[in-house]
Amino acid sequence: MNTHKAQKKWGQNFLKDTTIIEKIMASVPRSKHAVYIEIGPGKGALTEGLLALNRPVLAYEIDRNLESTLNARFNKAENFHLIMDDFLTRDISIDIRDHQFSEFDVHVVANLPYYITTPIIRKCLDLANLKSITIMVQDEVAKRLSAKPSTKDYGALTVLSQYYAQIDYLFQVPPHVFHPAPKVHSAVIQLTIKPERILPVDQEKTFETFIHQCFKQKRKTLINNLSSEYANAKDVLTNYFDKEGLNPQTRAEALNLNHLVHLFQKISLKTQH
């Protein structure tokens, strides 16, 4: 019998409810050309469902104490590829190439530790051929990622995530379906990667800086947040708000992605030239 104890340092909460596992698996996109990347397979609750899709599964597990459990459970599955390492410090592109999966569509599936949700999503977004990310995260983060403008959860993380992907909040997950049970609710969300991005790749880091400045102090107006960094911000914003019929006291949280991209092109890019 496996008596592995969940490690707090890695935020381990093992999923034990088969109904939730089935719901997650029903949400995972199917593709004849897929490779599924699982981050933190744990004891293999989701891994089993992924392997049943008859496509390669590249699983990253940081906890060495789980290696024998995973190998004993899945060593007969030819499509199971276990990498015992930290996903965040690993060069995933090299792993994909070394396993000869470079031509496949990449779909990420994970029950993520709460404390590293954002860096993992950011790292995944840089993967070539990424098509989707289906993840369990803290409910509060799920609401922030999928938020709409003019709601309390809408912020820089929302805008930057929605720049890369269509984000769908799928369902909430109660604490009791895990062992040990976390203190808060979780939720499953899905990021479907947009086939084309609005800005050229070489402008995206500058756009990220701009968005963080827009939301730097949420109680401040957009004009106040941007004027300290961009000399032309006040004039551009005043004209834009007037043209769009918006209040000059508008805050960043009231503007959707397209508004913010448009302002970035007028303010930040012109400042650089």
d(CA 130, CA 125): 7
Judge contact between 27 and 96, C-beta under 8 A. no
Q: Buried b / exposed e across 224-254, counting CB within 10 Å, b at 16+?
A: ebbbeebeebeebbeebbeeeeeeeebbbbe
pLDDT exceeds cutoff 50 at 89:
yes
Q: Buried b / exposed e across 28-56, counting CB within 10 Å, b at 16+?
A: beebeebbbbbbbbbbbbbbbbbbebebb
DSSP-derived 3-state class of residue 231: coil
Query: Quick one: pLDDT at residue 182?
Result: 67
Query: Quick one: pLDDT at residue 6?
Result: 45
Banded pLDDT at 176 (limits 50, 70, 90): confident
pLDDT tens per residue, range 119-172: 999 999 999 999 999 999 999 999 999 999 999 999 999 999 999 999 999 999
Banded pLDDT at 14 (limits 50, 70, 90): low
Judge contact between 225 and 217, C-beta under 8 A. yes
pLDDT exceeds cutoff 80 at 15:
no
Report in angstroms the alpha-carbon separations of 109 from 25, 59, 101: 9, 10, 16
Q: Give me the chain's average pLDDT, please.
A: 90
Full set of structural domains in the chain with CATH: 8-193 (3.40.50.150), 201-272 (1.10.8.100)
Q: Where are the alpha helices (DSSP H) in the chain?
A: 18-27, 47-51, 67-74, 92-98, 117-125, 139-145, 156-164, 204-214, 222-227, 233-244, 257-272
Mean pLDDT score, 246-266: 94
The pTM (predicted TM-score) of the whole model is 0.88
Greatest pairwise CA separation for the chain in angstroms = 69
pLDDT exceeds cutoff 90 at 260:
yes
Q: 112 or 103: which carries more pLDDT confidence? A: 103
pLDDT exceeds cutoff 60 at 11:
no
pLDDT tens per residue, range 21-49: 899 999 999 999 999 999 999 888 899 99
DSSP-derived 3-state class of residue 61: strand
d(CA 36, CA 261): 32
